[in-house]
Amino acid sequence: MKFLEYQVKERFRAAGIPVPDGRLAKTPDEAALAAGALGPIAVKAQVPVGGRGKAGGIKLAKTAADAKSVAGEILGMTIKGYTVREIWCETAQDITRELYLGLTLDRDARKPVLILSAQGGMEIEEVAETHPETIAKLHPDPWRGPLPFEVRDLIFRAGLGPLQAQLTPLVVKLYGLARTYDALTIEINPLALTQDGGLVAADGKLEIDENAMFRHKDLHGTDESEEDPLEAEARRRRLTYVRLDGSIGVIGNGAGLVMNTLDLVSREGGRAANFLDIGGGAKAEVVHSALELLAGDPHVKGILINIFGGITRGDEVAHGIIDASRDLNLKLPLVVRMTGTREEEGRQLLREAGITPEATATGAARKIVELATGAGR
Amino acid sequence: MSILLSKESRVLVQGLTGREGSFHAEQMKAYGTNLVAGVSPGKGGSTQLGIPIFDTVVDARRETGADVSGIFVPAPFAADAIMEAAAAGIGLIVCITEGIPLYDMVRARAFVAAAGVKLIGPNCPGLVTAGQAKVGIIPNHINREGSVGIVSRSGTLTYEVIQGLSQAGVGQTTSVGIGGDPILGLSFTEVLRLFKDDPATRAVVMIGEIGGSDEEAAADEVISPGLGKPVIGFISGRTAPPGKRMGHAGAIISGSTGTAASKLKALTQAGAQVCDTIEEVVAAAAAAVGQPSSAVHR
C-alpha cells in the first residue's frame, strides 16, 4: 500500500521528523485560503508517483491569487495515469542543500538497509549511477535496530559529519517509523537543509508491505479507485493480476508458469494483455471469475489458459472454463493447455464442449497468437 | 545419494492439523516420507494420520528425534514457527507458507543464520528426493529416481521440468524449490554447492526468474569456478515490465536490477547452458546425463 505525500508527512510529524507547515486543498479557493494563512506556498499535486515536478504538478505561489490560479491548473491534471484530486499547500522553504535519507530492503543482504546521501532531490537510483561516492549505507541488525554509533559512522561516511548532531536522531526516528509501519520503502527526499540551518522533510514516500496489512487495519492509503480499474476489480476478486499492454489474455496457475507463458506468447510473436495467476488448488469458480475478468477487457482479443495440475485439478479447471464460456457467451478465441492431475478427465470435458486442448505450452502459445491476431484484424 | 533429504530423515510437520497441513502431510506420508510428528499448539497428545501431535517443536524433537520440519502454519505465525524449529535444533526447516511479512522474515532469517541451521523458503513448494522422501507440496506422481538435480524459485515451473524429465525417462536426485519471496533461506549458490558435492547428481537444472540478483551471484560464485557437472539454466519473466510484481513477491524488476537479460548473460558467461523453453531444458538435461534408461531403475 502506498501513501500520498501529505499522509506520509502527517506520520513524519507525529514521529518528530520536522516537516513544513501545510494544508490539504481540494479546490482553488481552499488553496487561496492556505496561502492567506501560510504566506508563500508550494502547491503540490497529491499522486502516488514520482516525477510530479517535471510533469508540472508542483508550483510556487507567492500570493493567495497566485495560489488560486496555480491550484486551478494542477487540480484535474493527469500525472502518469493518476488524476490530481487533492493538492498539498505548504510553506515554501528556503533550501540551501538537498540530502537523501531512506530505508529499503536489500535482498542480497537479506536485511533492510538505511541509505544516506549528500546528494538529494533526485531518485536515489540515479544518484547511485551519477554520484555513487555521496551514498553511504547501513544494514542495521533487524533485532536491535541501528545503534547511535553506527548511525554516526553512516553520517561521517556520507560526508555529512558537520550535521551529525541533527541527523542522528532523524535516522533513528525514520528507522522506527519503518518498523512501526512495516515499510517496504520509506524515504525523505529531499531532506532539506534550510537557510536557518534546520533540516526539514521536504518530500516523503512510504510503501507498506501488503503481507503485513493485518497489523495495520486502521490505515488507509491512496484510494483504490485511482488504480487501474481492472487491477482494482481483480483485487476484489482476489486474483493475482497485472495489466500489460498486449492483446492476449493469459491465465495460469503459479507465478513462474504464468511468467513463462507470457514469454512464450512473446516468442510466438504476440503480446500478453495481462498476468493472471489463479494460484494452487483453484476451484471452478475461480477459473470462472478469471475468465469473466478478462472477457470484460476490451484489449483482449484471445485467451490462453495454461494449467499444470499439482494441487489444481484438470477437471475442476475444465468445468470452470466450460461454465464461463457458456455464461459469458464467450466469442473470443480460447486455447487451453492442460497437464498434470486429472489431465485426461479435464481434456475429455473440454473436447466434449468443443474446446480442443493443446498438447504443449509452446503449441498453445502459437495457436492463440494465430487466432487472436486474426481476430484482431 | 541425494541432498538435504533422504528416507532416513525424520520429518515433523508444524501446522499438521490445519487444512493444508493435514492434506499435504498425508501426501508426504504416501510418498514414503518418514513422518514422525506433528506440532499444533494446544493439540498435544492427540494423533492424526496415525502420527503423534505435540504442543511444541521441542517436545516433538525430544520424543521422536525429528530433524526436519515442514511448516504449513498461516503467514502471521510462520516466522515464529521457523524460529521455534531453529531453537529446538531442527537441522532443516522447510517453510511452505506464502505471505509472511517482510520484517518478520528478516528477523527469522537472522535467527536461523545465528542458529546455524538450514532454511528452505518461505513461499516455496519444498523439496523431494525422488523415491525417498518429500517435504512440501510437489505432486508425488511426477517424480522419478535418477541423476538430475533441480533448484528453482518457481513451483509449477519446477513441476513442469520434473514431469518433462520423468516422461522422457530421465530421473532426478533431489528437486528443491527455494521460493519466490525476496527474503529466502537457502539461495541458488548454496543449493548448487550441495549438488556439486553430491556424486549421484550428474547434471543440475536451475530455474530462475526476474527480481533480485541471486542468479547472478550463483553464476559468479559457483557456476563460473566450475561445478564439475553441467548446469542447465532457465529464466522466466523475460517479457515482464519493470516495476510490476509478477505474482511472486520477489519477482520484480527494480530499476536496472533483476532483469532476465542480466541473469541470462551471467549464466551464459559462467558456462551454463541457457535454454529458451522448458522443452529445451528437458532435452538438454536428458542429453547431459546420456541415455537415461540404463541409469534409471523404477
Asked whether the beta carbons of A238 and A232 are under 8 A apart, the reply is no
What digits encode the pLDDT tens for the residues B24-45? 999 999 999 999 999 999 999 9
Does A345 have pLDDT greater than 50?
A: yes
Domains of chain A and any CATH numbers? 21-91 (3.30.1490.20), 95-215 (3.30.470.20), 227-376 (3.40.50.261)
Enumerate residues 6+ apart whose C-beta is below 8 A from B103: A112, A142, A179, A182, A209, A212
Which chain A residues touch B207 with a CB distance below 8 Å? 256
What digits encode the pLDDT tens for the residues B125-184? 999 999 999 999 999 999 999 999 999 999 999 999 999 999 999 999 999 999 999 999
What digits encode the pLDDT tens for the residues A103-162? 999 998 999 999 999 998 888 888 888 888 889 999 999 999 999 999 999 999 999 999
Q: Given A141, A259, A360, which is nearest B209 (Cβ)? A: A259
What digits encode the pLDDT tens for the residues A223-274? 544 567 888 889 888 899 999 999 999 999 999 999 999 999 999 999 999 9
Contact between chains at A272 and B249 (C-beta distance less than 8 A):
no
Any A CB within 8 A of B210 CB: yes
Any A CB within 8 A of B230 CB: no
Asked whether the beta carbons of B227 and B238 are under 8 A apart, the reply is no
Contact between chains at B247 and A259 (C-beta distance less than 8 A):
yes
Asked whether the beta carbons of A312 and A340 are under 8 A apart, the reply is yes
**pLDDT of A223:** 54
- List, by residue number, the catalytic residues of A: 100, 187
Contact between chains at B102 and A277 (C-beta distance less than 8 A):
no
Which chain B residues touch A255 with a CB distance below 8 Å? 154-155, 180, 209, 246-248, 251
Write out the H or E segment, with its range, that includes residue B52: strand B51-54
Whether residue B122 is preceded by a cis peptide bond, meaning omega within 30 degrees of 0, is: yes
Chain B residue with minimum CA distance to A266: B239
Q: Mean pLDDT of all residues in chain A?
A: 91
Does B198 have pLDDT greater than 70?
A: yes
Amino acid present at A238: R
Integer Cα distance of A364 and B152 in angstroms: 24
- For residue A311, what is the DSSP state? S
**pLDDT of A130:** 86
Asked whether the beta carbons of A86 and A25 are under 8 A apart, the reply is yes
One DSSP character per residue, B136-201 reads: ES--GGG--EEEEEEEES-SHHHHHHHHHHHHTT--EEEEEE--SSSS-SS-HHHHHHHHHT-TT-
Contact between chains at A256 and B158 (C-beta distance less than 8 A):
yes
Asked whether the beta carbons of A148 and A168 are under 8 A apart, the reply is yes
End-to-end CA distance of chain A: 39
Q: Given A108, A209, A271, which is nearest B213 (Cβ)? A: A108
What digits encode the pLDDT tens for the residues A132-142? 888 999 999 99
Q: Is residue B244 classed exposed, middle or buried when 0-12, 13-18 and 19+ CB atoms within 10 A define those classes?
A: middle
Domains of chain B and any CATH numbers? 11-120 (3.40.50.720), 138-289 (3.40.50.261)
End-to-end CA distance of chain B: 16
Any B CB within 8 A of A365 CB: no
Within 97-116 of A, beta carbons closer than 8 Å to B belong to 105, 107-108, 110-112
pTM of the model: 0.91
φ, ψ at B203 (rounded to 5°): -155, 155
Helix (H, G, I), strand (E, B) or coil at B61: helix
Chain A residue with minimum CA distance to B142: A340
Asked whether the beta carbons of A51 and A80 are under 8 A apart, the reply is yes
Q: Which of B172, B164, B169 is nearest to B147 (CA)?
A: B172
**pLDDT of A226:** 54
Whether residue A190 is preceded by a cis peptide bond, meaning omega within 30 degrees of 0, is: yes
Contact between chains at A108 and B160 (C-beta distance less than 8 A):
no
Q: Which residue has the cell 466450460?
A: A322
Does B297 have pLDDT greater than 60?
A: no
One DSSP character per residue, A246-265 reads: SSEEEEESSHHHHHHHHHHH
Contact between chains at A254 and B154 (C-beta distance less than 8 A):
yes
Any A CB within 8 A of B148 CB: no
Integer Cα distance of B120 and B125 in angstroms: 9
Q: Which of B122, B121, B139, B120 is nearest to B130 (CA)?
A: B139
What digits encode the pLDDT tens for the residues A181-231? 999 999 999 999 999 999 999 999 999 998 999 999 888 776 544 567 888
Integer Cα distance of A237 and A256 in angstroms: 21
Which chain B residues touch A228 with a CB distance below 8 Å? none
Enumerate residues 6+ apart whose C-beta is below 8 A from B100: A211, B75, B78, B79, B108, B122, B123, B181
